[in-house]
Amino acid sequence: MVREVDPKLAVTRVATLEQLVADDMARARLTMLLLIVASATALALGVIGIYGVLSYAVSQRTNELGVRIALGESPAGVLRMVLRQGALLALTGIAVGLPAAFALTRYLRTLLYEVSPRDPAAFGGMAALLLGVAFAASYLPARRAGRIDPVQALKRE
């Protein structure tokens, strides 16, 4: 059809509009995929880190937690105490990470589509997700701390 209109015009890329748009968006898709993989890896490392720190803390404090339970602290109270430690770790990370993420959003502006780089819902949602993941990572060490047998903990000392 182009040659019928003007035979002197050079036709170099013959493709449908969908193919041209897909080719144009391929780099942005790859960048977003890499960012998603990096984010998931960072989240997994955070979960493993919080779990590891709290698990180690519980194992180091077995005697203290056994004494607390022997003196009348309920297992639920010990569980809450360890969960509170995990929440404190997560809240500290969020308090440090939110301002840093807020400052670095200008580098991601070109990758965002119909979303403000400083969208409060996105920042709040991620903070809530991180807090929830930290709570889940803290639960197993906290449950183990709540099940400490005071007699066995005191015998270890």
Model confidence pTM above 0.85: no
Contacts of 25 (CB under 8 A, 6+ apart): none
Mean pLDDT for back-to-back runs of 10 residues, the chain (157 residues): 79 82 86 91 90 90 88 91 90 92 82 79 91 91 89 77
C-alpha to C-alpha distances, 115 to 29, 38, 121, nearest whole angstrom: 16, 20, 10
What ranges do the domains of the chain cover? 44-156
Contact 148, 62 (CB under 8 A): yes
